[in-house]
Amino acid sequence: MTTTRAALTDADIRMLVKGAEPEERALIAHRLCRHMDRSDLTDDERAEAHHILRIVAADAAEQVRRALAVTLKASPLIPRDVANRLARDVETIAAPLLNFSPVFSDEDLAEIVRLGGPARQLAVARRPTLSEGVTAEIARHGVAEAVQAACENQGAAFSESGLQTALDRFTSCEPVLNAMALRSCLPPRVAERLVNLVSDHLREQLIAHHAVSPQIALAIAVGSRERASLDLVEQAARAADLPGFVAHLRRGQRLTASLLLRALANGHMTFFEWGVAELAGVPHHRTWLMIHDAGELGLKAIYERAGLPGRLLPAFRAAVDAYHSLDFDGRDDDKARFHRRMLERFLTQQPAVSRDDVDYLLDKVDRLTMDVAPPSAPEHASVAA
């Protein structure tokens, strides 16, 4: 047997097949598997290697089978039928292969998830990569620990339906919810649903570390229906795809006049421009001209086309005028001070804003004032004009 001669003596082969103590056979199996895995085999040699591996996999001693599984856990050499056989062996043999072996098909893994029990589900969930089909089976049949592990696995691809299934099953399971919330990308409908289930601490942590997609930022900000303490427009400013973000808002019927006014009052002019363009069905460049370069009539025309309430037009005009009257001055705390002054200028013009919106904006002034106050300032330092 060409494959084995370089690694084993004739005595070794006889001992592997029908003799010796289990510990000796396990050592021989390990040495043989390592040699075959490192060799450049011909087709005939590979067929011979597969024959020997099937003999090893049928050994009655657990340590012999474990030697095969551990040594070839990440190797493409092991035959698929042998891998599937060992995947149904005791957990210490199955787990290494289920964690790493590339020979399993998605169908193999899906069946193991359905029938294999918690330990095997967890081993599959921790594989370097997982297809949407396999994660769907984990979401549908896996125990909480397996679903959590799959969500934490950034190499695991999830479909929206798979994530929704996991949410249906583990609505009250904090580890699963937290793992899902920290994924790098989530579909908007999943994010909007998830944000109502996670803790306030996690919401704040996600925002602070920017580990959220624009869709999650949206869900966090509107989780309390535009009165949330976490501000949507602050997150919108970080969105890589602002037009898509705004379009998503509109589809969810959340691109409201109140939200646009709050955004504008906080100095997020680009968000306001894209929001009006989306509502009006007018390209952004034309919307920009009507807001900034066409005088009062231009703003009024695009505002009306967007279907925004007429009673709030003076408030929007005051916000646009306030925005144009201010500028950055290059200091370290430039952005925070600009937003604070923008809010102050807007509020002192007494536009037709609802009491709730005024309270919200005043709260923003308070928080921004605390952000820019020097360390030695009193706790209730007054806001500079």
Please give the chain's pLDDT, 385 residues, in tens. Answer: 444 444 455 555 666 666 668 888 888 888 888 888 888 888 888 888 898 899 889 988 999 999 999 999 999 999 999 999 999 999 999 999 999 999 999 999 999 999 989 999 999 999 999 999 999 999 999 999 999 999 999 999 999 999 999 999 999 898 999 898 888 777 767 776 776 677 655 555 444 443 444 444 444 444 444 444 335 556 655 666 788 888 888 887 878 887 887 777 777 888 899 999 999 999 999 999 999 987 778 999 999 999 988 877 887 888 788 788 776 555 555 556 666 666 666 666 655 555 555 555 555 555 544 554 444 333 333 323 2
pLDDT recorded at residue 190: 79
Which tokens sit at 9? 């003596």
Query: What's the token pair of residue 74?
Result: 């990440």
* Residue at 33 is within a domain: yes
pLDDT (0 to 100) of residue 96: 94
Whether 286 maps to a domain, the answer reads: no
> Which residue range is the domain that position 4 belongs to?
1-85
Long-range contacts of 248-255 (CB under 8 A, 24+ apart): 248/188, 248/214, 248/215, 248/218, 249/218, 249/275, 249/278, 250/278, 250/279, 252/188, 252/192, 252/218, 254/218, 254/222, 254/226, 255/279
In a domain, 257, yes or no: no
**Confidence (pTM):** 0.56
The whole-number pLDDT of residue 335 equals: 59
What pLDDT is stored for residue 383 in this prediction? 29
* Residue 291 resides in a domain: no
Tokens at residue 50, please? 């597969």
Residue 268 lies inside a defined structural domain of this protein? no
Q: Is residue 65 part of a domain?
A: yes
Total domains in the fold of the chain: 1
**Sign of torsion, CA 164 170 172 176?**
negative
Supply the pLDDT for residue 269. 87
Q: What's residue 4's pLDDT?
A: 44
Tokens 């599984």 correspond to 69
Which among 277, 324, 285 has a CA at the least distance from the CA of 302?
Answer: 277
Whether 95 is covered by a domain: the verdict is: no
Report yes or no on 81 lying in a domain: yes
Q: Decide if 206 contacts 212 (C-beta within 8 A).
A: yes
Both tokens of 159, joined, read 């479909």
